């Protein structure tokens, strides 16, 4: 998770939905809107200082601004050569902005069957719990809990990074291991019934002002008086698999 472009003042995570896609090298498309002020408040008015890097921050990704309007604050970014590491997961990439001296480096690419990229500009509300990736791989006993009603759609937030710092700073910034691939699923506790939906396609990633990375999992459904185990799995930039397990109790 290094800061790969030293003259750029800010970066933001993008979640590429590969929840129904085999591991492969893929194209991707990202639509940026006026809600994404982390970009519009920092870039040049011609968009020349937009760059994309992989999850580790060590490799740039070829890109093209398919459409761009600074006045309307909308841009569609096309990517080529994105490594989608794990089948049926979401892949994280980084958008870098904020270099007044940058020149255009678009590659004029054309995408085919692209993954769709999503941003998230709203974090957890005050008092919402933030869960951890504290469950060892293969563990099945949840150590964290939450409740919902069967008719509610709610969010489960997990802190997913940074996961460690480098022994030496890069350009004055301390960054280390981080998330690369994400997936979520929920299963009913033995003896129960009903379905709690926790689709990987609805996962989003948000960056706090202090650099913390949070993952938002959307939960819906579930049957009254039943319990479910929500599992968020994270493959890191160092190839480790981490997981957080939350027991979700549905009570109307």
Beta carbons of 148 and 222 less than 8 angstroms apart: yes
Structure tokens at 230: 């929500």
- What average pLDDT score do residues 81-108 get? 95
Distance CA 64, CA 75 (A): 10
Residues in CB range of 126: below 8 A, 6 or more apart: none
Which pLDDT does position 165 carry in this prediction?
Answer: 58
Distance CA 160, CA 131 (A): 9
Does 1 score more than 60 pLDDT?
Answer: no
Is the overall model pTM greater than 0.85, yes or no? yes
Helix, strand, or coil (residue 81) = strand
Does 166 score more than 60 pLDDT?
Answer: no
pLDDT in tens, 101-144: 999 999 889 999 999 999 999 999 999 999 999 888 888 889 89
Structure tokens at 84: 């989608």
Which of 130, 122, 105, 129 has its CA nearest to residue 44? 105
* Residues forming beta bridges with residue 145, ordered by sequence position: 247
Distance CA 11, CA 56 (A): 13
pLDDT range class, residue 217, cuts 50, 70, 90? very high
Which pLDDT does position 215 carry in this prediction?
Answer: 98
Does 176 score more than 90 pLDDT?
Answer: no
Work out the mean pLDDT of the chain and round it to a whole number: 92
- What average pLDDT score do residues 136-155 get? 93
pLDDT in tens, 34-47: 999 999 999 999 99
Does 173 score more than 60 pLDDT?
Answer: no
Distance CA 222, CA 197 (A): 7
Which pLDDT does position 184 carry in this prediction?
Answer: 98
Does 213 score more than 70 pLDDT?
Answer: yes
Distance CA 217, CA 153 (A): 10
Concatenated DSSP letters for 161-179?
E-----SS-BTTB-----E
CA 91 to chain centre: 7
Distances (CA, A) of 11 to 50, 106, 126: 10, 18, 25
The CATH fold of domain 130-250: Immunoglobulin-like (2.60.40)
- CATH 2.60.40 residue window(s) in the chain: 130-250
- What average pLDDT score do residues 230-252 get? 95
Helix, strand, or coil (residue 113) = coil
Distance CA 17, CA 5 (A): 25
Which pLDDT does position 133 carry in this prediction?
Answer: 95
């Amino acid at each position: 998770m290094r800061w790969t472009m030293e003259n750029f003042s800010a970066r933001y995570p993008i979640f590429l939905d590969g929840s129904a896609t085999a591991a492969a090298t893929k194209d991707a498309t990202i639509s940026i809107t006026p809600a994404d002020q982390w970009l519009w408040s920092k870039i040049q008015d011609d968009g020349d200082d937009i760059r994309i890097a992989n999850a580790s921050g060590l490799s740039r990704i070829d890109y093209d601004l398919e459409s761009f309007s600074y006045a309307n604050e909308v841009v569609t970014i096309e990517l080529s050569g994105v490594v989608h590491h794990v089948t049926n997961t979401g892949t994280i990439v980084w958008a870098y902005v904020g270099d007044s001296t940058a020149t255009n480096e678009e590659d004029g690419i054309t995408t085919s069957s692209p993954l769709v990229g999503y941003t998230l500009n709203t974090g957890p509300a005050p008092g919402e719990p933030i869960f951890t990736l504290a469950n060892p791989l293969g563990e099945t006993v949840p150590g964290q809990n939450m409740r919902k009603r069967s008719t509610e759609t709610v969010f489960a937030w997990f802190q997913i990074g940074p996961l460690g710092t480098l022994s030496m700073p890069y350009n004055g910034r301390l960054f280390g291991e981080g998330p690369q691939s994400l997936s979520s699923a929920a299963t009913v506790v033995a003896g129960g019934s009903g379905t709690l939906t926790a689709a990987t396609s609805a996962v989003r990633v948000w960056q706090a002002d202090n650099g913390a990375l949070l993952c938002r999992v959307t939960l819906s459904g579930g049957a009254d008086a039943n319990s479910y185990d929500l599992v968020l799995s994270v493959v890191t930039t160092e190839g480790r698999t981490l997981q957080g397990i939350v027991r979700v109790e549905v009570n109307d």
